[in-house]
Every structure is written in structure tokens, then in C-alpha cells.
Amino acid sequence: MDASALAFVQQCLDEALAAPPNEARRLLHGRGRRWPGLEQLTIDWLEGVLQVTLFKPLGDEAYGQLLALLNGLVASPQWASSGAEGLLVQQRYLEGSPALWLFGEPSGPRRIHEAGLAYWIEPGRAQNSGFFLDMREGRRWVREHAEGKRVLNLFAYTCAFSVAAIAGGAQAVVNLDMASPALARGRENHRANGHDLSRVSFLPHDLFKSWGKVSRQGPYDLIIVDPPSFQRGSFILSRDYPKVLRKLEGLLSADGQVLACLNDPALPADFLRDAMATQAPGLQFVERLANPGEFADSEAEAGLKVLLFRR
């Protein structure tokens, strides 16, 4: 990270604090490799908390310069006028993804918003805060197409897709994820939006051992598949994603749709299209959803891939 890269970070933060977004937003997506020297860095505005995330280590000198820039920021007039409450640097490349709070301190769950819907997050508490900003267009699509549908949300995490579906008028949503705490947060996300929880199911199960439970609540008009790239001991995307796709036709209604997501920079969209053609030949590719503009990548295939298929 040289002087020009640091100057760009300063400019980005000055502009953002002059008129902070009214919802959670990615401010700088260095991982999109559009700014030399910033490939390992992202900056997010979490409605009062500024989170700087490092995905690879910086040299001691560069890291010290970055911290000096950020400490100077919190002492600036624009910081005071922005209403910001906290600033943290998270080191994702270290075990446990530790967070260094330069201003403020961990205060437990806080609410952020997207398109008028509320979600709970905890910045710096773990590797992920509980909400993926790059999936905004996917949630928008689900909200716009969910009315009257039965929805299955696989690898549901904190159920953001489920919140969008119920907000869009879905008849019912079934959320499945191995992590009970994530599903508990998903339940709180629904409550934060005043949703009728009788229309929402939460299944804390291993998907590969639970096809029977999932199928009994079907068939589904929309299935969302958003797996992790890698989950130690339970899911390896290149090996296990095809196993999931193989089951889809048996779970879908006659005119059902699948929104399949892929967030591994090493795998192109064709991996998903080819796997679907092999494992679920009755599903036809319709379109690839655009990513939010702030997540632009110098190589489109390295960014998030969200693909729509229809029976």
C-alpha cells in the first residue's frame, strides 16, 4: 500500500463521511482489484460504525500508516459531524478474525437497514457480521418475485433472503442451516420487521442428512441456494454443490425457480451452469443478476455470481 493508495483511502472516507449513506453500504471494494495496492482491503459503512477489513497482512510500515490515517480521521471535524459511533479494523487473515477498535467499542448487536428492512449485525464479533452487503440485488429480486410463493432457503445463515421473501408476500419460507445461532439471529431479523413467524420455519440441520425433512414441506415455488465457499468439515463447494443441485428437481413445483449463488473467486459462472445442466437438466438458465455497482470487479467472473434458473 503506497502513498497514492493511502491518498485514495483518505479521499474515499472524506467523501463518505461528508454525506454518510442512510443504509449499510460498501464504501471501498479493494478486493475488486480496481485500485492498485488496495486489493486486500474493504471498507463498510454500517450505519454509524466504519469497518475496515484486511484480508491479507500489510507490512509493518504500511499498517502503521493506515492506522495513522484512521486515527486522524476520528479526530477530524467530518468524523464528528457524521454521527459515527465506532471504527474498527478487522484482520480476516488471522485466526478468529480479531478486531481492533480505534474508536468506540463492541456494543453487542446493532440494527442496519436495506431497502427499508431491518437486520441485526455484530461488527467485529466474528469473521462475518451477519449480513452480506454484496447480495443486495439478490434480495431485491427475491422480494419482487416472492408473492404467494413457497420458498426454500438453503444455507440460510441469518435468513436475510427469508426476510426479503416475507416482505415480498411469500406464502411461507423454510430456512435450513447447520448453525442454530445463525437461525436464531434470523428469527430476530424477522421480528425486527414485524413479520408473522407462523409463515417461517427454521431447520437447524445438516442438509445432506435432512432431505426428507426438507421435501416433506415442499414442493417449493422458489429455492434459494447460497452456500459457503468452504465450511470446515461439512461443505466443500466444488465437491458438494453438485450434490445439492441433484436434488432440486424433486423439490420444485411444476413451474418453480432456483436462485443459485456462487461466491468463490476461483470458480466462474460456467461452473454453476454446467453443474446444473448435468445434475438438474430440467432447469434452464434464465439470467445472471447484476451485482451492486460498488462491488464492481476488474474480472467479472471473480465476483459474486447469482444465477436464475427456471423449470
Domains parsed from the chain with CATH numbers: 3-121 (3.30.750.80), 133-310 (3.40.50.150)
Beta strands 235-236 and 172-176: pairing type?
unpaired
Q: Return the pLDDT at 242.
A: 96
Distance between CA atoms of 213 and 70, rounded to whole angstroms? 49
List, in order, residues 6 or more apart from 59 with CB less than 8 Å away: none
**Rounded mean pLDDT of 274-303?**
96
Among the residue ranges 99-108, 142-151, 163-172, 270-279, the one predicted with the least confidence is: 99-108
**Rounded mean pLDDT of 189-195?**
98
% of the chain beyond a pLDDT of 90: 92
**Rounded mean pLDDT of 147-170?**
98
Side-by-side strand order, sheet with 305-310: 200-203, 172-176, 150-154, 220-225, 252-262, 305-310, 284-288
Q: Return the pLDDT at 126.
A: 82
Distance between CA atoms of 210 and 194, rounded to whole angstroms? 29
**pLDDT digits 0-9 by tens, 203-258:** 999 999 999 999 999 999 999 999 987 666 668 898 999 999 999 999 999 999 99
Length of the chain: 311
**Mean pLDDT of the chain, nearest integer:** 95
Does the pLDDT at position 141 exceed 70?
yes
Does the pLDDT at position 152 exceed 80?
yes
**pLDDT digits 0-9 by tens, 28-83:** 999 999 999 999 999 999 999 999 999 999 989 999 999 999 999 999 999 999 99
Q: Return the pLDDT at 205.
A: 93
Q: Return the pLDDT at 127.
A: 84
Locate 251 and state its grid cell.
Answer: 423439490
Distance between CA atoms of 162 and 74, rounded to whole angstroms? 37
- What does the angle CA 39 – CA 161 – CA 251 come to, to the nearest 5 degrees? 115
pLDDT bin (cut points 50, 70, 90) of residue 108 is: confident
Q: Return the pLDDT at 233.
A: 63
Does the pLDDT at position 118 exceed 70?
yes
